[in-house]
């Protein structure tokens, strides 16, 4: 039986590691690519979900973090720091712990999901809530890393991008080639940058040839209240219920535009309503529970389809970036916004059967 060894060992020859790199892994990557039956049926396309919530800390960040922390360990770092809307902090805290390092995280005031907060704390990170948004946190984290002996593990750290590009390799390995279109949420824009790099490096035409014959069009989607790339200027006070992507000035802005333009793709905005509808679609129809921000790619795909802009017959992969248990409160509301409460029943078979509609 083959045990998945984590993305560094699985793709060692395509990553900037050497025999001296101490590999810090929690078994990240090797995530399921799940056929989305209802999305396929509705769009007339072949739609797949790359379920990144199945990573060790339940988001795609782990792919980048195994690289960033391993390289930090190789450089002798003892302390790492990051700014985060939640998932990066959870991942950094876990991998720093595995490496025996100290981790400090800067999170925006009151806007991080409880699951992510508890992960960072559980893994022993020093967590500071900053009076500002994610962009403010990242500015401070970058300055700290310049002035003090701490390693920055945000996606401005190039090793993060290197690790995250492995998701594109896995998609190609699973499907036999790149898809026609790849949809994903865009926040700080590291992941769209990483996928595009990965797809590019995995074709037969690249310097180190890979199995793909082509690259996909990259379709990135930002939340409408936090869509600086769509607007063409930074957003001072980004707002969205999708706190993971509540970012007004993405660090990899230029690289995201390049991925869009070089691939013949798009970066569009989706509303919170569209995000929540896609979030609900995924859990109630496909059987895949994601956090709201993770559903932005699917929301975008459905919006393009609804606008008549989706050619049928295409093969499409949507990355769903983080697990639903990160931010479960959204599942406990009905479509009209009221709270869901369980039906109470006595310890009695007939009562339970009646409640289930099995009795007259
Ligand atoms: N989806 C989830 C669940 C995320 O946590 C993030 C980013 C994104 C999508 C967007 O990815 O930034 O590479 O464009 N979360 C970062 C964090 C900002 O701090 O956890 P991106």
Rounded to 5°, the CA angle 77-80-83 comes to 155
Residue 121: count of CB within 10 angstroms of its CB: 15
Of how many residues is the chain composed? 360
Task: Find tokens 């712990």 and name the residue.
Answer: 97
If you measure from the C-alpha of residue 177 to the centroid of ligand 1, how many angstroms do you get, rounded to a whole number? Answer: 26
Q: Running DSSP on this structure, what letter comes out for residue 205? A: T
> What DSSP state is assigned to residue 169?
H
| Number of neighbouring beta carbons within 10 Å of residue 232 | 8
Tell which residue, 217, 208, 205, 204, has the closest CA to residue 176: 204
Helical pair 87-99 and 61-74, crossing angle rounded to 10 deg: 40
Q: What pLDDT digit, counting tens, does each position of 16-64 carry?
A: 999 999 999 999 999 999 999 999 999 999 999 999 999 999 999 999 9
Q: Which atom of ligand 1 is nearest to the CA of 190?
A: 13
| Domain boundary assignment for the chain | 7-57+160-223+251-332, 61-157
Contact in structure between 154 and 141 (CB atoms under 8 Å): yes
pLDDT at residue 18, as a whole number: 98
Q: Helices marked H in 52-210 — which ranges?
A: 61-74, 87-99, 114-122, 134-147, 158-164, 166-175, 190-201
Ligand 1: residues with CB < 6 A are 59, 61, 84-88, 155, 185-191, 244-245, 291, 293-294, 321-322
**How far, in Å, from the CA of 324 to the mean position of ligand 1?**
14
- The CATH fold of domain 7-57+160-223+251-332: Rossmann fold (3.40.50)
> Which residue, 270, 256, 345, 350, is CA-closest to 307?
270
Please tell me the residue having the least CA distance from ligand 1 atom 5.
244
Q: Which residue minimizes the CA distance to atom 4 of ligand 1? A: 244
Whether the pTM exceeds 0.95: the reply is: yes
The predicted structure's pLDDT at residue 1: 67
Rounded Cα–Cα distance for residues 289 and 102 (Å): 32
Task: Give the residues of the chain that fall short of pLDDT 50.
Answer: none
Determine the distance separating the centroid of ligand 1 and the alpha carbon of 89, expressed in angstroms.
11
Give the number of other CB atoms < 10 A from CB of residue 347.
6
Predicted interface score ipTM higher than 0.90: yes
Q: How many Å separate Cα 102 from the centre of its chain?
A: 24
Ligand 1: centre distance to CA 188 (Å): 6
Helix or strand holding residue 46 (H, E): strand 46-51
Atom of ligand 1 nearest to the CA of 247: 18
Q: Say how far apart CA 39 and CA 228 lie, in whole Å.
A: 28
Q: Residue 261: CB partners within 8 Å, gap ≥ 6?
A: none
CATH of domain 61-157: 3.40.50.1100
As a whole number of angstroms, the distance between CA 27 and CA 6 comes to 4
For the chain, helix (H) and strand (E) counts, in that order, are 14, 10
- The reported pLDDT for the residue numbered 338 is 87
Determine the atom of ligand 1 nearest the C-alpha atom of 184: 9
């Amino acid at each position: 039986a083959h045990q998945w060894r984590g993305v560094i060992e699985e793709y060692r020859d395509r990553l900037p590691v050497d025999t001296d790199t101490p590999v810090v892994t929690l078994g990240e990557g090797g995530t399921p690519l799940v056929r989305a039956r209802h999305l396929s049926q509705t769009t007339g396309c072949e739609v797949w979900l790359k379920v990144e919530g199945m990573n060790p800390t339940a988001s795609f960040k782990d792919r980048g973090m195994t690289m960033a922390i391993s390289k930090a360990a190789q450089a002798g770092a003892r302390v790492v720091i990051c700014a985060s809307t939640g998932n990066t902090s959870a991942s950094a805290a876990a991998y720093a712990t595995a490496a025996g390092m100290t981790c400090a995280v800067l999170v925006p005031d009151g806007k991080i999901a409880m699951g992510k907060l508890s992960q960072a704390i559980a893994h022993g990170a020093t967590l500071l809530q900053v009076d500002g948004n994610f962009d403010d946190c990242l500015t401070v984290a970058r300055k700290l890393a310049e002035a003090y002996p701490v390693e920055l593990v945000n996606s401005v750290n190039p090793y993060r991008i290197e690790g995250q590009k492995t998701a594109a390799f896995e998609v190609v390995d699973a499907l036999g080639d790149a898809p026609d279109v790849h949809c994903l949420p865009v926040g700080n824009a590291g992941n769209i940058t990483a996928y595009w790099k990965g797809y590019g490096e995995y074709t037969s035409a690249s310097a180190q040839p890979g199995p793909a014959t082509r690259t996909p069009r990259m379709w990135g989607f930002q939340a409408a209240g936090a869509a600086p790339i769509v607007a063409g200027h930074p957003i001072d006070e980004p707002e969205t219920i999708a706190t993971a992507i509540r970012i007004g000035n993405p660090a990899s802005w230029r690289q995201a535009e390049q991925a869009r333009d070089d691939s013949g793709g798009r970066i569009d905005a989706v509303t919170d309503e569209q995000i929540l509808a896609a979030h609900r679609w995924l859990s109630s129809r496909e059987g895949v529970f994601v956090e709201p921000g993770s559903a932005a790619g699917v929301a975008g795909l459905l919006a393009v389809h609804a606008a008549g802009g989706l050619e049928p017959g295409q093969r499409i992969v949507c990355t769903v970036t983080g697990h639903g248990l990160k931010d479960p409160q959204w599942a406990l509301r009905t479509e009209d916004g009221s709270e869901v409460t369980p039906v109470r029943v006595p310890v009695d078979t007939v009562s339970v059967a009646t409640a289930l509609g099995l009795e007259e």
